[in-house]
């Protein structure tokens, strides 16, 4: 079940990153790399501009945009990024609205993917086409309500981090759902996809929602935040998320050994 769980998580993250890729490409951003997995490269091929790679560890993926972070000359040389690119090819130079659409695209793709999965489930059950569309949309709406209510209960103190599962706990959950059949597992994957989409839209540093919040703040104050300030904000957000992930992982382990 560990391999299946890692595969599910990787698919959902790659779907998310593909959303960023599509819209960034649409707005002319130079995309340095689109990777499946993390860690050392085991395969890569450079297209017209973008390097497409498969990395050693099947735990997600990423879409690296030019100008998304402070320029690293070694990375630019490694990927043979031209020195004479037009400034409009840099993500950082895009208009606020375009940045927001690029950031929102990841979560949007997770919602679309979840809808597609539920569509397949209802089709397989032999439901009529009009009803399939309605039921699929209804299911996504229900998932959103349940997930948002869970976050509200967490912030209100009615739930604790012990009530949430991370990747380790998800292994056990995948096994449980799989026992009830493939269709049940597909519904669970759709739920996780919606959860990933909503989570990434939270206005928290290091998440897409946090980046969207920063763009909106810059739009309101009519001033760009300095790269140093952005770096500090994102670093703090990343550290907090990492600590939360560690806490949830520890809780997962204790649940499994009890």
Question: Catalytic site residues?
Answer: 17
What is the token pair recorded at 191?
């739920």
Distance CA 21, CA 18 (A): 5
Instruction: For the beta carbon of residue 176, count every other beta carbon within 10 angstroms.
Output: 13
Distance CA 193, CA 177 (A): 15
**Nearest of 137, 102, 115 to residue 193 by alpha carbon:** 115
Structural element, H or E, at residue 46:
strand 31-46
Q: Please list the alpha-helical segments (H only) found in 156-181.
A: 167-179
Q: How many helices (H) and strands (E) does the chain have?
A: 8, 2
Helix/strand/coil for 201: coil
């Amino acid at each position: 079940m560990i391999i299946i769980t890692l595969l599910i998580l990787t698919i959902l993250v790659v779907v998310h990153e593909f959303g960023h890729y599509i819209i960034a490409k649409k707005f002319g951003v130079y995309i340095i790399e689109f990777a499946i997995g993390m860690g050392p490269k085991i395969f890569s091929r450079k297209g017209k501009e973008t390097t497409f790679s498969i990395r050693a560890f099947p735990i997600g993926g990423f879409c690296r945009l030019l100008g998304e972070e402070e320029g690293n000359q070694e990375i630019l040389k490694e990927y043979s990024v031209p020195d004479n690119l037009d400034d409009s090819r840099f993500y950082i130079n895009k208009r606020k609205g375009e940045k927001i659409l690029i950031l929102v695209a990841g979560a949007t793709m997770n919602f679309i993917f979840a809808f597609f999965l539920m569509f397949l489930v209802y089709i397989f059950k032999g439901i009529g086409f009009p009803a399939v569309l309605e039921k699929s949309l209804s299911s996504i709406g229900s998932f959103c309500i349940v997930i948002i209510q869970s976050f509200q209960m967490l912030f209100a103190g009615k739930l604790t981090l012990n009530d949430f599962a991370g990747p380790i706990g998800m292994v056990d959950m995948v096994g449980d759902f799989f026992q009830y059949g493939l269709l049940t597992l597909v519904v669970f994957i759709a739920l996780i996809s919606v959860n990933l989409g909503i989570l990434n839209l939270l206005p928290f540093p290091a998440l897409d929602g946090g980046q969207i919040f920063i763009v909106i703040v810059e739009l309101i104050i009519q001033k760009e935040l300095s790269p140093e300030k952005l770096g500090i904000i994102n670093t703090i957000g990343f550290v907090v998320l990492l600590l939360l992930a560690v806490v949830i992982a520890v809780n997962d382990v204790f649940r499994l050994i009890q």
